[in-house]
Chains A and B, each alone.
Chain A
Amino acid sequence: MSGLYIHIPFCRKRCNYCDFFFITNTKRKKEFLNALSSEISLLSDQYNGEKFDTVFFGGGTPTVLTSAEISDVIKNLEDSFNIDINSEITMESNPEDFSDVSTDNYLKAGINRFSFGVQSFIDSELKFLTRQHTSEMAEQVIRLTSSLTKNISVDIIYSLPLQTEEDINYSISKAIDCGANHISAYSLTYEKGTVLYKSAEKNPLLKKDPLKDSEFYFKVSERLISEGFEHYEISNFARPGYRSRHNLKYWTYKNYLGLGPSSHSFFFNKRWNNLRSYSGYVKTLIENRLPSENKYKPDTEQIKLEYIMLGLRSEGVNFDTFKKLTGENFETEYKSETEELFSAGLAFIKDGNLKLTEKGYSIADEITARFF
């Protein structure tokens, strides 16, 4: 079964470290929702033979949409696509958008998994990241949500300048305490073009300390693993039964269809993306055309690399899947590479999968490059 991704291209204000695609003029919500409807109807015929069991509202900030608006979109999706009744339906959620009744309303609209963009439970850190909420707001919203559903994920960012080990432990403990059963822990990255990137260029104190970064990486993993979380992808941890089924589609080479501007798709052996322009997206759909571009079919070599790259980052390179995708035998093809990894304690084989160890995860890019 496949996944559906809906990109909601609105944020109220840009966070200083963020390079995702969105606009801040939320007055254009109606216009966008109309365009999205057109996109859904344009796609529905083509995909009527396909089954979907995950839906993911990402952004931007999907909670810019009211529960009524979300409800409409979900209904529309259910009418147009073959969506399994046990689907995982996730919504990235910003705490500042929630009132006492929001969670309940979103649940009623069909959302069954909340992924909270919290980043930290320390106000000074939130301020540094120019987030719109306070730790208190986040705590309240998550606790309330947790009384209604257990399917809660929290995003945390580590490796902030001046952050101490206690700081990062505090945020993690708090997330768990509030009821998160899934945690995505990202190391702060300085993306070109962001405000943070520019400040770091001027102020060396803001630069990332690679030593500290790797230390924190291991600390975060240790902490979460000791709390009963499984490290199932480089940056993702979940209690048993709480992995993100949607994200696993990306990592296990399953099909997914992206809607909304800048979304990515992988279907019928092809990859493509939607226009990374709000007006371009809307305009194309008004003309009744699909806003997709850069469509290509990865060749076998690219498939190999992509699959190895994704597999090593998450649940492992599955030998049967590899054979199906490329026609080649992974174990014989990469004998010396894998042996090297075993002897260095960077990987192991389990149930027909080559999986990285904790140490292996931390240098996954280096390891992947070895297979190129």
Chain B
Amino acid sequence: MTKSNIRNFCIIAHIDHGKSTLADRLLEKTGTIEKRNMIKQVLDDMDLEQERGITIKLHAIQMKYNSPDGEVYTLNLIDTPGHVDFSYEVSRSLAACEGALLVVDATQGVEAQTISNLYLAIDNGLEIIPVINKIDLQNSMVDEVTEQIIELIGCKKEDILLTSAKVGTGTDEILESIVHRIPAAKIEPEKPLRALIFDSKFDIYRGVIVYIRVFEGSLKPGDKIKSFFTGNTFEAEEVGHLRMGRSKSGQLDSGDVGYLIAGIKDLNESKVGDTIYRTDQPITEPLPGYKDVKPMVFSGIYPSSTEDFENLRDSLSKLKLNDAALTFEPETSAALGFGFRCGFLGMLHLEIIQERLDREYNLNIISTVPNVEFIVYTTKGEKLIVDNPSLMPDPQKIDYIEEPYITANIITPTEFIGNLMKLANERRGVFLATNYVDAKRVDLHFDFPLSEIVFDFYDKLKSYSRGYASFDYDFKDFRESKLVKLDILLNGDPVDALSTIVHRDKAFEWGKKLCAKLRQLIPKQMYEVAIQATIGSKVIARETISAMRKNVTAKCYGGDISRKRKLLEKQKEGKKRMKQIGSVEIPQEAFHAVLSLDT
């Protein structure tokens, strides 16, 4: 084992604390890109990412750094996604590194993602370099934030670097700290190849491009390789490093971060977290930490007009090419026709997919209210996985139901503890512990049913804390809950797409609010429409939409029939945005009514 000049690191931060901006400074300073060629924040290259200011896909980039100590170092910066929906991907990126810059905004202090990312980094044994950013701002609280960081990671004051990524202050110290504080990548060329897949993406010309960290051994074109967990074998076609683009090289060695192209057709043949090895050098142990990511949130996605079904399938397939976590299966709904039950890592993931279908594929879709997955144990002793509320078996056939729980950290200024306890209580939170981050901030630790945080929890959290609290979570386990299926009937006909699974104690209120909301959203029809919420055969809430009173143009246009016809054709055009269910026309927003319930 020899020491190398390679440093593999990442930047972790709560959203908007300056991760991307700092990365830009490092790239600039090391001459990896020229300042004038730089579009703001090069690491986020999807439109949507730039717009939302979040990083969705991981990327890595190599820099050459000439240190004042006379050595030239190779720095591999591995970018990590910024949202909890993608925490497994974050953890795999972290696993590819030896160290992490922990960036904290000097005006905001430690927040929920700071802590959750920090824990992930510590779990992966990384050296942490704390960095306080945005010190140029007038309202920065360097002393306070320094205290918080010391409290959090138990470092010394001198260990904390101060920077303004925007202005460029402190970049040199950061680079020096990277090479001198982060352990050098271990070089073990004599061992059999073990390389970690920390990301992958699909390229229409080359197939899947996998991003790997080579821990041991080496890899060159022509090598026969195998993924440990998926068991697929490939032949390496091309390997190389990641500069501003791909930079082909003869070989990737122990310690390197780079890419691999191997005729892989599908992201699922080489999953993130898997270990690549050479078939001529069998290994007994994979690299640790592999997990098969599973969707947590489900929603039915239907084309607004039935002709678009095949289009929707194609578009989902295309999106899936670059998104291993997205799942979809055809399903039918009595109300909405043919569509797909799609699975997502979380709500943000779901929103991104919906938005991309709309923007990039120009599809007009209706999506049902998102739900989590339930494990249903029947009286016959079967175990069923139910990811669509309308497929929930009849109550008398159910022994009990389990639902997913997450474990969450809420970081908040102490003055909002009371409010947030109340919120947690409303959302069936199980209180676990409080840890004081410093005198003014506290980390509240709860378990929650996932279903309770799917809808508007984040917004509620913000409004209960005047925007100050932040929140992060991780899947924990399945637990038994008293859940019931709430159905919505319109004029006596159940609308499957509006069924939801709710906790028994909340069903009444929920039903009442949902009926009231639907009454607002469904326009008056030719005749009275009864909206009912039912559990089994029991009606628990009811509203009526009175019949339309008048809809006729009284004016006589003489013999101008064309004008009259055109007016009606226009009216009909407006109706196209409605779904006809039984005899009732429902606007698309109604299928999302639950999301806007004020609970």
Contacts and interface: CB of A to CB of B under 8 A. Distances in A.
B556 A5 contact: no
Interface string A225-251: 000000000111000000000010010
Given A271-B562, A306-B561, A344-B526, A362 B552 contact: yes
Interface in A265-289: 265-266, 271, 273
B565 A305 contact: yes
A357 to B, nearest CB: 12
A60 to B, nearest CB: 11
Interface of B: 526-527, 548-556, 558-562, 564-565, 568-569, 571-572, 575, 583
Interface size class of chain A, counting residues whose CB lies under 8 Å from the partner chain: 35 or more
Given A340-B583, A362-B549, A266 B568 contact: no
Contacts of B561: 250, 264, 266, 271, 306, 309-310
A187 interface: yes
A189 B556 CA distance: 11
Contacts of B552: 234, 313, 361-366
A247 B548 CA distance: 28
Interface in A323-350: 340-341, 344, 346
Contact of A247 (B526, B527, B549, B556): B556
Contact of A189 (B553, B562, B564): B553
Interface residue SS majority, chain B: loop
6 contacts: A258-B559, A306-B561, A309-B561, A361-B552, A367-B526, A369-B572
Interface stretch (A134-142, A197-205, A207-215): A207-215
Given A302-B565, A306-B565, A372-B572, A365 B551 contact: yes
A211 B551 contact: no
Contacts of B571: 365, 369
B550 A213 contact: yes
Contacts of A217: 550, 554
Contacts of B554: 185-187, 189, 217, 234-235
A214 B549 contact: yes
A331 to B, nearest CB: 19
A368 B551 CA distance: 10
Nearest to A7: B558
Nearest to B561: A306
A61 interface: no
A361 B549 CA distance: 10
B559 A264 contact: yes
Given A235-B554, A365-B552, A263 B559 contact: yes
A274 to B, nearest CB: 11
Given A362-B549, A368-B568, A369-B575, A273 B560 contact: yes
Contacts of A247: 556
A184 interface: yes
Contacts of B559: 5, 250, 256, 258, 263-266
A58 interface: yes
Contacts of A258: 559
A346 B552 CA distance: 14
A297 B548 CA distance: 35
A244 to B, nearest CB: 10
A271 B572 CA distance: 22
Nearest to B574: A369
A363 B558 contact: no
